[in-house]
Amino acid sequence: GARERLKGLLADEGLPASAEITDWRDVPEDRHGGVYLAVWPLEHGFEATTKTGGLTVISEQDVLGDRLIRAPKKRRRAENFLTETNAISAGDLVVHVDHGVGRYTGLETITAAGAPHECLALEYAGGDRLYLPVENIELLSRFGHEEGLLDKLGGGAWQAKKAKLKQRIKEVADKLIRLAAERALRKAPVLEAPHHAWEDFAARFPYQETDDQLAAISDVIEDIASGQPMDRLVCGDVGFGKTEVAMRAAFVAAMAGMQVAVIAPTTLLARQHYKSFSERFRGFPITVGQLSRFVGAGEAERTRKGIGDGTMDIVVGTHALLAKSVRFKNLGLLVIDEEQRFGVGHKERLKELRSDIHVLTLTATPIPRTLQMSLSGVRDLSIIGTPPVDRLSIRTYVSEFDSVTIREALLREHYRGGQSFFVVPRIKDLPEVEDFLKAQVPEVSYVVAHGQMAAGELDRRMNAFYDGKFDVLLATTIVESGLDIPTANTMVVWRADMFGLAQLYQIRGRVGRSKTRAYAYLTTKPRVPLTPN
């Protein structure tokens, strides 16, 4: 097609008739000013000298100039257009890019210049109306709430809001750029472990790592070897292997001669981490200690001394590690589990600790600010979204409390050789549930645990349940995190409506930590019918 078009243009200009060729060899040696047309992949022409004379090759681009390639205009396909229109219902609030928040009242046909046009009718403050042709629907977006104040059509309030938002975005961007620059300038110790020791430690992990888990481990190891302070959030479901990521990082730091602090929000979780770390690091030249209210005065003093003189490599504890009296000799890595459960004062102390050390935060339910900082790049983010191999999902039921259903659930777990949790929101609820267990489920044995018990007694009861001496653990939210009991696979929550969503998520995560199917019953108080009075 291009050759035929060019042939016609040459003829229009009065040039001699041209011949069509397909190969260089088709050009006659006794040519005298002839014009030949060929289809060859040349962008630009050239001149050549041969034995029989000169040869000038001119490309189409030399004659017609560079081809202008227009960016394809985004066109809305008919089905998408109809879907978007149907997605808006009469009465919905929408945002017009130029006029602000209005209420969509429906489609109307408007006649303009003698031709009908289908338009979206929008109502604004004061009863003003705007008709937007349906082909311009891209100017609209859905408003985030069902109710809101309408903007005044033609007023300056919307433009002022846009200007204020642009300024706010600029301020946030400036802050992010400044934080990124400061972070790039800060230095932290380069942490690397001997290769043979690392391989040995990794091989001791008794499970098959998931792809997400391996990716998170790789991210963390790269961060602590970069020479810049790590600030990474590892977000993953309960039981998906976040602790192993922390253990790998702690191993590298300890083998590199730096101290590691692992901080948990509750004594039970700190105790669980201490047991896990002690077992995992056995056989390596690494000392693991703990500091919480479960620890006696003598052991606590020895742990503080080891922290101060550097003989304690890894210390696991609660906010007791944040006390002014605890001074690390050579802290290189700080691991924070469930940061959202620490108070404001504790978080301020954490900020003081994290200026030039590596920080790793683990959570299943990040608070919005932490998640926003990770998504915006202020903090690095690793997500563990794949469950362990052969892990079955927890079957969760939400209903009013029914004694027959709960009795069957507890007995089913008992007869398959497992254990159950029964969680209440308040200590004063414990006697009522105890009465239920004694009267309705006498076949099972139970033990009670709550936060107001003496540390020694609580520890004794928790260990007894852990060792399988009781069928049911009746407890308050002290079991919200920290217990990892593979044989416990039934969870009953009394008055679930009195818990927060993050609490319920953590509580439910106490079961289903093995290959056995787990069940969670979130119960509420039976509704009482209203009397005429």
Instruction: Tell me the CATH number at 409.
Output: 3.40.50.300
Are 309 and 457 within one domain? no
**Residues paired with 474 in a beta bridge:** 422, 448
DSSP 74-87: P---HHHHHHHHHT
* Residue 171 resides in a domain: no
Q: Is residue 456 part of a domain?
A: yes
Residues 360 and 500 in one domain: no
pLDDT at 379: 74
What per-residue confidence (pLDDT) applies to 77?
Answer: 39
Same domain, yes or no, for 363 and 243?
yes
Residue 76 lies in a domain: no
pTM: 0.64
> Is 476 in the same domain as 409?
yes
**Is residue 379 domain-shared with residue 419, that is, in the same domain?**
no
Place of tokens 């509580």: 507
Res 62: pLDDT:
74
Q: Is residue 186 part of a domain?
A: no
Residue 256 lies in a domain: yes
Asked, for residue 530, whether it belongs to a domain, the answer is: no
Q: Are residues 247 and 325 in the same domain?
A: yes
My answer on whether 214 and 291 are in the same domain is yes
Give the burial string for 421-434 (b: 16+ CB within 10 Å, else e).
bbbbbeeebbeebe
Would you give the DSSP letter of residue 479?
G
Residue 179 domain-assigned (yes or no): no
Residue 501 burial class via C-beta count within 10 angstroms: exposed 0-12, middle 13-18, buried 19 and up: exposed
Please state the domain count of the chain: 4
Amino acid 76: pLDDT: 42
| Spans of the chain below 50 pLDDT | 68-83
**Contact 471/498 with Cβ under 8 angstroms?**
no
- For 204, the 3-state DSSP assignment is coil
Cα separation, 382 vs 386, in Å, equals: 12
Strand 314-317 relative to strand 259-263, pairing: parallel
Considering the domain boundaries, does residue 390 fall inside one? Answer: no
d(CA 142, CA 94): 5
* Claim to verify: residue 283 and residue 372 sit in the same structural domain: yes
DSSP state of 225: T
**Residue 46 structural domain:** 2-64
- Does residue 376 sit in the same domain as residue 401? no
Based on the fold, state whether residues 353 and 210 are members of the same structural domain.
Answer: yes
Residue 422, SS3 per DSSP? strand
What pLDDT is recorded for position 307?
Answer: 94
Mark whether 402 and 281 lie in a shared domain.
Answer: no
| Count of Cβ atoms closer than 10 Å to residue 187 Cβ | 9
Q: Decide if 497 contacts 524 (C-beta within 8 A).
A: yes
Are residues 368 and 449 both part of a single domain? no
The HSE-up count of residue 264 (CA atoms within 13 Å, CB side) is 23
Q: What is the pLDDT of residue 352?
A: 72
Q: What is the pLDDT of residue 399?
A: 92
Alpha helices in 186-241 (DSSP H): 195-203, 211-224
Q: Give pLDDT, residue 320.
A: 86
pLDDT reported for residue 82:
34
The pLDDT, as a whole number, for residue 32 is 65
Contact, 254 vs 263, CB < 8 A?
Answer: no
What pLDDT sits at residue 21?
A: 75
What CATH number is given to the structural domain containing 94?
2.40.10.170
